[in-house]
Chains A and B, each alone.
Chain A
């Protein structure tokens, strides 16, 4: 394998978001600085009898207003639908054209020298057929991004199961014998299931829709390391650019677990807040009375680009992505390591990768879920890495406002980090009126703080023990 010795610098040239605080970056940031909560009663399905009856939902959103060819995405589930809007915003900001294949790319006319491949086999109106290859001459579109060097890396999750899923089980389950009569189950499945809905349920479909949207022919990957997924996607996308596998990566996350089985799963784990009488104050990271996280949904996409490519295209640079560290707890399925072994390793690796020390970090954007365990262990981890500086560094949780976007959480929160660099202002942790006496860091309670911000660390930890940390820095040529 080729392993280039020269490390490309990687910068952020576009950002887009669809989330409970708003469906664009400006509205999201306005909400964060105003300390608004995105939580509300659950409206996506009737959760009125569930242990938790609220969540943080995306509101007033329709992906059709972002794309000219909605028929290509018609059956997509919530996550991919959010991803489309976020990606269009991010590409617009970065100056990357979307849905332009037919103007910029000719129909395939490749032939192998012995003629065993037919000509023009790709002539279909809705297909993207790039001529650019690794060995032939390239056709670079007008936006300056070679599609074979444009990739996608998302942390993304499943779609919601259709009502037909439950109908199958109802039909098949024999209550007296306590067993499934599979033939009945199968019969109902064939009668009621929509094939495309079933396909769109798969977690790699958000990446598939974005590839079709942008014509990306470079590395396209999707990962799901629970709540750490989109930070991992961004970190690995950074590595793909550094290695020279891509010039531009759309990286981030898209997820909605706000569906009956998702909420059931989290409720059974007692991971969700059940503060049903006050959804807006339920997400209260680092607070003594915190009782679980608030389930959110959304998508956040960042355009990562090699500095060379950004300069060549004249793209405006929003920040530099300088470090990534990844580790695993290897401890327990259900709990984090008591001494925060994994998070500490990931944070140290990210600093080392960035060529920075703990003295260089101005602000830490936490995973901060508002669960008892996470907020304690995360505080411990920060103390482990930042030592005597731990109490002087502002650390805050955007989840106090946004809720927990699960697979998309890290990416959405990283956008807040980039904006903190831009505006020299640190987002608050809202609902923090009754600090946990055992948690003694500066959590930026309730109001944002103006201060010089040059380096920000973003942390994400996932169920199952994956820890991912990235570091962004103000861009200096």
Chain B
């Protein structure tokens, strides 16, 4: 049966390892760690003062001149998303309104966007004066807030923090008029968003889509929450560069951070027509749910992970033995790592002992909704370069962890990579990337053939201009 194929044609990333995919990937290959003492606010008093923060940038210089005024409506999450989106679109050879309005080379109505986001926590400093004006006897007073404090909140305040605003700003800058969605399943959100965007393209509702995730967790309130939930590393001693140890016997919790990663996903025919450089194919997606009434923890047997991975493999029509690399969620929270490892082992069977596993959060930190997208960017890089970078901070496997975590770099062809993720609350997701190969030369050599299999598979939903209305 013919299949609609969705390929990756552009990559963008900002991470604690650098601004841009080249810097981030070089850092990963070198096994560098992006975790440092927090700069965004004074972390004194927190059990752990470390986080993964993105290097400095000036957002005004990263948006079109005509859009500079709008940066005041961007919170940090939006800025990071806009940076990664710009890189992905440029690297994909797309010319949008935001890049050069005279030379646009795509149909904006067929360009979608799907972004994974967490809840965006507002900037507390921004609310400081308004809250301070609303105190009575040293306590916050709602009466005074309604009368006085509220008036000190900037009029468009709410629009800075709605989770769909990264997609909104990117959509305006690059003129994306196709379907726009924002998946708010935090740490699983990026994989879910990438999966949905691939489905939107496969069913013919868009020719291409920007998809990924962005989140800035280095906010005092966000970090505080992770400590309250006992997810964060609770010791401030030691070396920040060796403290985050996914699947290691000495793992002691997650380090949180910020970042964004975006991919241009595209219908294969469309990519061919514009001679795009095809980096990889989205081979399969799977999703499920972890059942745990302790919502901040993964269920101990990792069933939700197992089902998501099995579905992704089935969707990709491959078996576990076909995988060349697994990039797990691996936060370094010991019981979650173990649960994830159990789920992976159950899904992969005996092959689990052989397939190389490469956790990235020892270098990138847990970046919320950005994490899954950073991993997929890394997976695409691994495929195109034929490199599995070394796992950092992994010395002794955690007891009971059956995964084959590689500590030395390995070079060689990589055909299939599995990425998986889960989030508090329980959503789980898995995605399989495949090295791009021409599968059926007969039907694929002539991209202009209107009867090619790929177009038929789109199920009859086509461009707006063809509608008979």
Contacts and interface: CB of A to CB of B under 8 A. Distances in A.
B425 A208 contact: yes
Nearest to A198: B225
A470 to B, nearest CB: 13
B169 interface: yes
Contacts of B350: 112-114
B129 to A, nearest CB: 7
A49 interface: yes
Nearest to B166: A464
B217 to A, nearest CB: 12
Interface of B: 1, 3-6, 41-46, 70, 73, 108-109, 112-113, 117-119, 122, 124-125, 127-129, 131-132, 135, 138-140, 142-147, 150, 153-159, 162-165, 167-169, 171-172, 174-186, 192, 196, 198-199, 202-203, 205, 220-221, 224-225, 227-230, 282-285, 287-289, 291-293, 295-296, 299-301, 303-304, 306-307, 310-311, 314-317, 342, 345-346, 348-350, 352-353, 400, 402, 423-427, 456-457, 459, 461, 464, 467-469
Given A5-B457, A203-B119, A349-B464, A236 B181 contact: yes
B140 A1 contact: no
Interface stretch (A329-337, A416-424, A428-436): A329-337
Interface string A1-24: 111010100000000000000000
A106 interface: no
13 contacts: A1-B285, A1-B316, A46-B142, A112-B345, A121-B300, A122-B299, A135-B314, A166-B131, A202-B424, A204-B185, A224-B117, A326-B179, A351-B469
Interface stretch (A31-39, A86-94, A168-176, A314-322): A168-176
A65 interface: no
A71 B294 CA distance: 11
Nearest to B159: A333
Contacts of B153: 264-265, 268
Question: Which one of A3, A108, A110, A200 has the highest number of Cβ atoms from chain B below 10 Å of its Cβ?
Answer: A3
Question: Which one of A163, A270, A466 has the highest number of Cβ atoms from chain B below 10 Å of its Cβ?
Answer: A466
Contacts, number: 385
Contacts of B164: 224-226, 462-464, 466
A116 B402 CA distance: 7
A352 to B, nearest CB: 5
Contacts of B198: 1
Contacts of A199: 225, 229, 295-296, 424-425
A442 B72 CA distance: 41
A223 B184 contact: yes
Interface of A: 1-3, 5, 7, 45-51, 71-72, 101, 108, 110, 112-114, 116-118, 121-122, 124, 126-130, 133-135, 148, 152, 156, 158, 163, 165-170, 172-173, 175, 178-183, 185-187, 189-190, 193-196, 198-205, 207-208, 211-212, 215-226, 232, 236, 239-240, 242-243, 245, 260-261, 264-270, 326-334, 341-342, 345, 348-349, 351-353, 357-358, 385, 462-466
Given A47-B146, A180-B125, A208-B426, 6 more contacts: A1-B282, A49-B143, A183-B44, A200-B295, A224-B184, A328-B178
A232 B125 CA distance: 34
Contact of A2 (B3, B44, B162, B175): B3
A122 B167 CA distance: 39
A116 B401 CA distance: 9
Contacts of B117: 224
- The 3 A-B residue pairs with the shortest CB-CB distance, nearest first, are A265-B158, A49-B146, A208-B425
B162 A464 contact: yes
Contact of B342 (A121, A156, A357): A121
Contacts of A224: 117, 162-164, 182, 184
B186 to A, nearest CB: 6
A108 B301 contact: yes
A116 B352 contact: yes
A68 to B, nearest CB: 13
Nearest to A101: B291
A269 B147 CA distance: 16
A116 B345 contact: yes
A345 to B, nearest CB: 6
A169 B145 CA distance: 13
Given A72-B293, A129-B301, A333-B169, A328 B113 contact: yes
Contacts of B287: 218-221
A217 B457 contact: no
Contacts of B73: 333
Contact of B125 (A124, A163, A179, A269): A179
B346 A207 contact: no
B349 A112 contact: yes
B293 A212 contact: yes
